[in-house]
């Protein structure tokens, strides 16, 4: 199974079972623009035999809708609850991808999840060998999950 398939399968499963939302993966692409606008990104680092980062990028409107479904409480803007929910999603996705890459679970360690959000921010990767971004459709809105792995 390739990385795009791993991301698509893990994302569909987590959204379906944990948030009760159906998402549809689109064709994987390589991100060329590192600027995000009115968005939030949840990130988890990978270290050990594989080094990199798994991120979930969501526009504010998608992040608040997902958080509302995830927590069962109305959320209208990015706040601490949204940061926690999107960070936890990144953590679950990174865990699923880690398991697919390293079935023994002993070769890769995950960092604590972190989030960044704002009106405009950039996320760049130094020395990325693998750059896979899978866009997803959620009721006509789009978000993406990205895996960046170091080439060194």
Q: Which mean pLDDT values do the consecutive 10-residue runs of the chain (152 residues) have?
A: 90 96 93 86 93 94 96 94 97 93 85 96 76 94 92 58
Whole-angstrom Cα distance, residue 79 to residue 35? 21
Give the pLDDT confidence score for residue 47 in this predicted structure: 92
pLDDT at res. 101: 85
Please report the pLDDT score of residue 105 as a whole number: 74
Domain 3-150 has CATH 3.40.50.300: no
Provide the pLDDT for residue 130. 78
pTM of the model: 0.92
Predicted pLDDT of residue 151: 61
**pLDDT at residue 92, as a whole number:** 97
pLDDT at 127: 63
Buried b (16+ CB within 10 A) or exposed e, 43-73: bbbbeeebbbbbbbbbbbebbbbbbbbbeee
Residues in the chain: 152
């Amino acid at each position: 199974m390739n990385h795009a398939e791993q991301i698509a399968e893990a994302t569909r499963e987590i959204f379906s079972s944990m948030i009760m939302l159906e998402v549809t993966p689109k064709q994987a692409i390589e991100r060329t623009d590192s600027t995000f606008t009115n968005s939030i990104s949840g990130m988890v680092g990978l270290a050990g035999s594989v080094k990199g980062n798994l991120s979930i990028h969501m526009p504010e409107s998608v992040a608040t809708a997902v958080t509302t479904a995830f927590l069962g409480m109305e959320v209208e803007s990015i706040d601490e609850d949204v940061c926690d929910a999107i960070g936890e999603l990144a953590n679950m996705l990174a865990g699923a991808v880690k398991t697919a890459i390293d079935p023994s679970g002993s070769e890769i360690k995950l960092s604590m999840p972190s989030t960044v959000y704002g009106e405009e921010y950039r996320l760049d990767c130094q020395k990325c060998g693998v750059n896979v971004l899978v866009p997803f459709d959620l009721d006509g809105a789009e978000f993406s999950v990205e895996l960046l792995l170091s080439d060194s």
